[in-house]
Amino acid sequence: MTPLEKVAGRAIPLGLKNVDTDVIIPAHWLKTTSREGMGRGAFESLRADPDNLFDRPEYKGAPILIAGDNFGCGSSREHAAWALGDLGIRVVIAPSYSDIFSGNAVKNGILPVVLPQAAIDRLMEVAATDPIHVDLDTQTVTTPFQDRFTFEIDPFRKMCLLEGLDEISLTEKSGAAIDAYEKTLDAERPWMRPAV
């Protein structure tokens, strides 16, 4: 996973609420055994409109996406995070996310920034004309107009993003604890093993 510390650039002012992962990447794009190339199907239904935001020259390759409440709701498909990543998006800014999406995003080096609606409204305004800066280390979003918004993030997620950590390797260090848990489980609830 590519580490993430500072991201600066244009931000796509999508702004919609309840953007579900079927909208981010429709199911027919899920028929693949690879993680690559998902950007082609990203936001397909929105991009059917020739005047859509994503394909405007000023937002091509924009590293930031601004959205409304409950971004990434619905299906657990990690393909949504892969699709955003393939579009070049490294940061999403929204008032709230679905729990599954925000986890998937972090595991793919995408930072889900949570800011209140008022801040989102201001950033949407700025995004129409100017770039936005996001600094994970200082947990701030700033604009060329002296706007400065700070955001909260779970410290573990922050560390994973900053260092580009592979969570499986991290968990494997707890191998002995998992062994011990399994032993206790077998002793206390042996019937938890499938009967056949």
- Closest approach of Cβ 4 to other proteins, in Å? 16
Tell me the three state secondary structure of residue 64.
strand
Q: Could you tell me the two tokens for 36? A: 């690559």
Least Å from the CB of residue 111 to other proteins: 16
The nearer residue to other proteins, 96 or 143, going by C-beta atoms, is 96
Q: How far is the CB of 65 from other proteins (least distance, A)?
A: 16
Q: How many CB atoms lie within 10 A of CB 85?
A: 21
Looking at residue 80, the DSSP 8-state letter turns out to be H
Cβ-based nearer residue to other proteins, 103 or 131? 103
Distance from the first to the final alpha carbon of the chain: 39
Nearer to other proteins among residue 138 and residue 174 (C-beta): 174
Residues in touch with other proteins (CB under 8 A): 15-18, 20, 22-23, 26-28, 30-35, 44-45, 68-70, 73-79, 81, 96-100, 103-104, 107-108, 117, 154-156, 167-168, 170-172, 174, 177-178, 181-182, 185, 189-196
Of 52 and 76, the one with the shorter C-beta distance to other proteins is 76
Least Cβ distance, residue 169 to other proteins (angstroms): 9
How far is the CA of 64 from the CAs of 12, 99, 137, 180, 191, in angstroms?
A: 6, 20, 17, 44, 49
Q: Which is nearer to other proteins, 68 or 131 (CB)?
A: 68
Q: Are 107 and 168 in contact (CB under 8 A)?
A: no
Q: Is 46 exposed, middle or buried (0-12, 13-18, 19+ CB in 10 A)?
A: middle
